């Protein structure tokens, strides 16, 4: 039995740490590969041998560095050497195996390494998609080995499953169509006419490759009827587009055979004349290159994203734009309605009257995406609904292969509604749905042995061009006719909204208190709540995870709960890929909601390799099991603990702050200033160990100042800076330039908590400083903190609370005093033994850190390179703190948060006596 993936990942982290510094090809290569196999629980010598001889074509013998016959061939080089030579040598050995009659020993996998990288080839890779490839490769940096262990699943004997993020064919399609776009744009053909032209062309390309048109009819028409120099390309395309919009009865009688063969498309796609630019040879060549590509391999589900990638500048397109993953779209639509429909179909199989009713139900469902973009969600939903309908039809008529199927399908594109702020994506969404309809008709044709095509297009989706936040959604689709509301509204943080978006928010929020804190996406939740009231509509949106963290929760969800909404399901934070957002990864949540309860609620947690699903009694706005509690900022701690404050805030324009070099240079000019220099520590200095100094003059006598002209010059500069500020409070302190805007100098050791810390760290680094150090307002401090306080605050329990209740600065953790610290529910009356265990474990962390005097907190808390003794010390502390809360252990952050919210409610509702946690001072 192979060892678990968790064990393999842990082994891989240790392996990476151990081999980070090695560089010699021969000295340690054998140990490297022995350790590599042990990562997967395999003893290397039981499967593979070093220096395996192979007879070359020339009759001499070569030696394979490491060989597992029939499975794996390894070649190893010294650090920094090119792996190209190793690759050539490895594949020569494979040829030698074949030539010497050892075909059965030819490996499927080739692995190359130079200690720093692992380059893996799979020579028999079969992509599960319809355009599979035969060779696959990946290059894994040693430091990231633990993230890619699944690529080596063949070693422990697991079945291999690889996800190809983007098919090479899709990238090629973007390049081909993008070249056409660029060529036309360079010729002066731009704007809406270019966009409409490309949509029409792309429809024709799909149509001739998927059977809507005769095969290659579009290509042959252009080849046979337009000049190579492109001079008459525009008029011919104009004629063709007009023909596609003309019913056969109204067409000219003397059309040529090729033109007459084109069907009537209808659907307004080809309605309206385009202003064609003067075409040339390059434009024609670019268009002909498009016709030679097989567009049948492109799924209409990514049609919109493909078109968006084409419209991007060429330099961004070169990387092969990512499209919104269908798997991520399914994360929303499956729990919203698809899983329920599939379960219903399973229950009804064999009951034909009920199946017919179910089929009619599918035909009545209506879907609405009020931020539809190019229609990705609508298109994938339509595909899944049609596939479900085909299952129903097969269950009803499975044996009747010769029946007329043209009237069987009840699901059509007119069941889909959307709002899109830009016109051309709205049109693309319509076309993408038509193309998906045709693809599903082909599936239906295959299922029943008849060819089924819906031309002319008599129905279309209703995609309205407009600003969804300034429209009454009822005018698009009345809520009593809508079943499901869904989508992926824009990701724009509160601080990054433009003026137009702020006006949108103000209109939707309508005076709601705290609305200025809300991300743009929340406006869709508020509009949805208004739209859904009094109906049975169920909704789900993809949103930035910030709406379930920090201050936004209290503002948004208290309003939504007051209106009567309930969370039905939730995907906790995961990485969403969407080039349309201009980012490779955005951390998002998916929240399903509606009025009234649902029988089963689900939380999907993506903390591991595979999402885990729980069925809570209730889902809180923080997306964990618990009551609908929302956290608001508190001016003082909920429990009886020392108060936390911010550090010093100079507002000095940098005049009082110095690097070590700047300080020494200044003292050379002004040696009398030395007593007034203090170590200055902000978040960066505290975590990364950078040395800075502050010139602190609050206690400097005036006569001393007058004797230090260089100091006086800086004081005058601070006064002038403050006086020139637009802030009235800043102007008021211009008259006291030697005093800080905020001064906080404890007279005793104090605990430091950085205001911002990387999201990749398992713990926010915290520690004690002495009164002779000045700290900036970029850190928070707790004067009078004990070892017990330090232990609880640096524990997994408090980190879980911080991650959920605190906000984010970009993706980094932002530690808020009023939200995180003041609301934190400390353990209720832990006994002295439990407190002592926390203090002992907390001191153990401080002592362990002292063993690494040359390491910064950034080094010590690096998620990959955290010293194992420090990791063990934190695990010990976590257990000690957990026992202060309850005897039963916690199963991850979600269970911690469920417990903490329940405890928070007991504190705030007065169900517990006042808590007085004690503790001793640090050593």
Are 23 and 134 contained in the same domain?
Answer: yes
Among the listed residues 610, 659, 28, 571, the one whose alpha carbon sits nearest the alpha carbon of residue 332? 571
Mean pLDDT along residues 899-919: 75
User: Do 734 and 787 share a domain, yes or no?
Assistant: no
Tell whether 417 is covered by a domain.
yes
Q: Residue 782 above 90 pLDDT?
A: yes
Query: Same domain, yes or no, for 653 and 641?
Result: no
Q: Is the pLDDT of residue 916 over 50?
A: no
Q: Do 531 and 395 fall within a single domain?
A: no
pLDDT of res. 248: 85
Is the residue at 316 inside a domain? no
DSSP state of 400: -
144-170 exposure pattern, b = at least 16 Cβ within 10 A, e = fewer: ebbeebebbbbbbeeeeeeeeebbebb
579 part of a folded domain: yes
CB 380 within 8 Å of CB 330:
yes
442 or 348: which carries more pLDDT confidence? Answer: 348
Q: Which residue's entry shows tokens 């539809």?
A: 372
Has this prediction a pTM greater than 0.75? no
> What are residue 769's DSSP bridge partners?
750
**Category of 487 on φ-ψ map: left (φ > 0), alpha (ψ -120 to 50) or beta:** left
Looking at the fold, whether 336 and 265 belong to one and the same domain comes out as no
Strand ranges (E), 818-863: none
pLDDT digits (tens, 9 = 90+) for 583-622: 445 788 999 999 988 989 999 988 666 778 999 999 999 9
Q: Give yes or no: residues 639 and 605 share one domain.
A: no
259 within some domain: yes
Structural domain harbouring 670: 649-743
Whether 729 and 788 share a structural domain: no
Domain count for the chain: 6
Burial class (CB in 10 A: 0-12, 13-18, 19+), 650: buried
pLDDT at 315: 36
The CB density around residue 517, as the number of other CB atoms within 10 Å, is 17
* DSSP alpha helix (H) spans, 564-674: 660-669
**Within a domain: residue 160?**
no
- Dist. CA 306–CA 327, nearest whole Å: 17
Q: Note whether residue 260 is domain-resident.
A: yes
- Residue pLDDT, tens place only, 504-552: 989 999 988 888 888 899 999 999 999 999 899 999 999 988 899 888 8
- Listing DSSP states for 88-154 in one string gives HHHHHHHHHHHHTT-GGG--SEEEEE-SSEEEEEETT---SSTT--S-EEEEEEGGGGGGSGGGGTT
Q: Give the mean pLDDT of 284-292.
A: 88
Q: Which residue, 725, 743, 761, sits at the end of a domain?
A: 743
Q: Above 90 in pLDDT, residue 837? A: yes
- 758 and 822 share one domain: yes
Query: In whole angstroms, what is the distance from residue 375 CA to residue 428 CA?
Result: 7
Does residue 887 sit within a domain? yes
Report residue 908 CA to chain centroid gap: 35
> Would you call 678 exposed, middle or buried from its count of C-beta atoms within 10 A (0-12, 13-18, 19+)?
middle
CATH number at residue 78: 3.90.1570
Whether residues 682 and 769 share a domain: the answer is: no
- What is the rounded CA–CA span in Å between residue 316 and residue 475? 38
Q: Residue 359 above 80 pLDDT?
A: yes
- Claim to verify: residue 806 and residue 873 sit in the same structural domain: yes
CB 98 within 8 A of CB 59: no
Residue partners of 554: CB distance under 8 A and separation at least 6: 514, 630, 631, 632, 633
Q: What's the rounded mean pLDDT across residues 16-35?
A: 75
Among candidate residues 181, 274, 176, the one with its CA nearest the CA of residue 234: 274
> In this prediction, what percent of the chain has a pLDDT beyond 90?
48
| Residue at which a domain ends, from 743, 762, 783 | 743
Dump pLDDT digits (tens) for 878-904. 999 999 999 998 988 888 998 999 999
Query: Are 280 and 330 members of one domain?
Result: no
Among 467-471, 624-628, 812-816, 900-904, the least confident range: 812-816
């Amino acid at each position: 039995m192979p060892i678990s993936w968790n064990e393999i990942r842990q082994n891989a982290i240790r392996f990476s740490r151990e081999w980070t510094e090695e560089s010699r090809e021969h000295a340690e290569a054998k140990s490297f590969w022995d350790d590599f196999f042990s990562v997967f629980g395999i003893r290397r010598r039981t499967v593979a041998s070093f220096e395996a001889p192979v007879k070359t074509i020339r009759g001499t013998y070569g030696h394979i560095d490491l060989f597992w016959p029939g499975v794996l061939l390894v070649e190893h080089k010294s650090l920094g050497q090119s792996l190209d030579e190793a690759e050539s040598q490895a594949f020569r050995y494979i040829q030698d195996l074949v030539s010497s009659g050892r075909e059965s020993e030819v490996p499927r996998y080739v692995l190359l390494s130079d200690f720093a990288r692992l380059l893996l080839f799979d020579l028999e890779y079969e992509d599960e998609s319809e355009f599979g490839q035969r060779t696959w490769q990946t290059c894994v940096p040693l430091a990231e080995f633990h993230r890619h262990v699944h690529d080596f699943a063949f070693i422990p004997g697991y079945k291999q499953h690889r996800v190809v993020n983007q098919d090479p064919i899709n990238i090629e399609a973007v390049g081909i169509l993008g070249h056409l776009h660029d060529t036309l744009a360079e010729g002066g053909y731009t704007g809406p006419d270019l966009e409409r032209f490309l949509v029409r062309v792309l429809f024709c390309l799909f149509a001739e490759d998927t059977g809507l048109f005769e095969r290659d009819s579009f290509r042959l028409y252009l080849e046979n009827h337009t000049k190579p120099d492109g001079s008459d390309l525009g008029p011919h395309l104009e004629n063709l587009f007009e023909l596609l919009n003309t019913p056969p009865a109204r067409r000219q009688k003397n059309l040529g055979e090729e033109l007459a063969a084109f069907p009537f498309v209808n659907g307004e796609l080809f309605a309206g004349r385009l202003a064609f630019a003067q075409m040339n040879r390059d434009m024609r060549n670019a268009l002909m290159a498009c016709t030679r590509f097989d567009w049948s391999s492109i799924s209409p589900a990514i049609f919109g994203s493909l078109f968006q990638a084409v419209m991007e500048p060429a330099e961004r397109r070169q990387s092969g734009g990512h499209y919104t993953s269908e798997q991520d779209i399914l994360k929303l639509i499956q729990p919203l309605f698809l899983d329920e429909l599939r379960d219903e179909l399973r229950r009804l199989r064999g009951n034909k009257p009920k199946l017919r009713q179910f089929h009619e139900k599918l035909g009545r469902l209506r879907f609405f995406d009020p931020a539809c973009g190019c229609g990705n969600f609508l298109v994938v939903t339509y595909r899944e609904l049609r596939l479900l309908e085909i299952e129903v039809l097969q269950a009803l008529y499975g044996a009747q292969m010769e029946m007329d199927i043209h009237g069987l399908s009840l699901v059509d594109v007119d069941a889909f509604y959307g709002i899109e702020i830009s016109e051309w994506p709205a049109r693309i969404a319509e076309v993408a749905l038509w193309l998906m309809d045709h693809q599903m008709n082909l599936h239906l044709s295959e299922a029943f042995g008849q060819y089924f095509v819906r031309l002319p297009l008599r129905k279309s989706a209703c995609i309205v061009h407009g600003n969804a936040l300034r429209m009454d959604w009822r005018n698009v689709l009345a809520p009593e006719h809508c079943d499901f509301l869904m989508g992926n509204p824009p990701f724009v943080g509160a601080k990054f909204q433009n003026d137009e978006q702020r006006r949108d928010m103000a209109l939707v929020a309508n005076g709601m208190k705290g609305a200025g804190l809300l991300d743009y996406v929340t406006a869709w939740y508020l509009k949805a709540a208004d739209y859904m009231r009094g109906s049975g509509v169920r909704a789900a949106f993809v949103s930035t995870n910030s709406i379930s963290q920090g201050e936004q929760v209290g503002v948004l969800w208290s309003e939504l709960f007051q209106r009567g909404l309930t969370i039905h399901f939730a995907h906790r934070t995961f990485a969403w890929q969407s080039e349309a957002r201009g980012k490779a990864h955005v951390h998002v949540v998916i929240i399903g909601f509606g009025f009234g309860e649902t029988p089963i609620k689900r939380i999907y947690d993506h903390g591991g390799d595979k999402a885990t699903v729980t069925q809570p009694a209730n889902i809180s706005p923080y997306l964990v099991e618990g009551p609908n509690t929302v956290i608001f900022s508190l001016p003082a701690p909920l429990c009886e603990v020392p108060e936390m404050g911010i550090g010093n805030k100079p507002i000095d324009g940098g005049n009082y702050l110095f690097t070590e070099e700047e300080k020494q240079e200044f003292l050379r000019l002004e040696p009398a200033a030395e007593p007034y220099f203090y170590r200055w520590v902000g978040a960066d200095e505290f975590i990364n160990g950078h040395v800075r100094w502050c010139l602190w003059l609050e206690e400097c006598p005036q006569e001393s100042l007058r004797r230090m002209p260089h100091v006086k010059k800086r004081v005058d500069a601070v006064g002038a800076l403050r006086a020139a500020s637009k802030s009235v409070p800043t102007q008021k302190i211009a008259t006291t330039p030697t005093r800080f805007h905020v001064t906080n100098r404890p007279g005793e050791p104090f605990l430091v908590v950085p205001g911002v810390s990387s999201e990749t760290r398992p713990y926010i680094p915290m520690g004690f400083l002495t009164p002779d150090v000045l700290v900036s307002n970029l850190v928070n401090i707790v004067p009078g903190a004990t070892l017990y306080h330090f232990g609880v605050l640096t524990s997994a329990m408090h980190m879980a609370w911080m991650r959920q209740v605190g906000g984010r600065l970009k993706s980094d953790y932002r530690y808020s005093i009023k939200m995180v610290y003041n609301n934190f529910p400390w353990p209720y009356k832990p006994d002295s033994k439990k407190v002592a265990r926390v203090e002992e474990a907390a001191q153990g962390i401080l002592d362990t850190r002292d063993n690494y005097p040359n390491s910064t907190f950034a080094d010590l808390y690096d998620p990959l390179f955290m010293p194992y003794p420090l990791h063990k010390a934190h695990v010990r502390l976590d257990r000690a703190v957990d026992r202060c809360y309850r005897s039963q252990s916690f199963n991850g952050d979600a269970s911690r948060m469920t417990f903490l919210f329940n405890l928070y409610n007991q504190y705030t509702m007065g169900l517990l006596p006042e808590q007085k946690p004690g503790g001793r001072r640090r050593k």
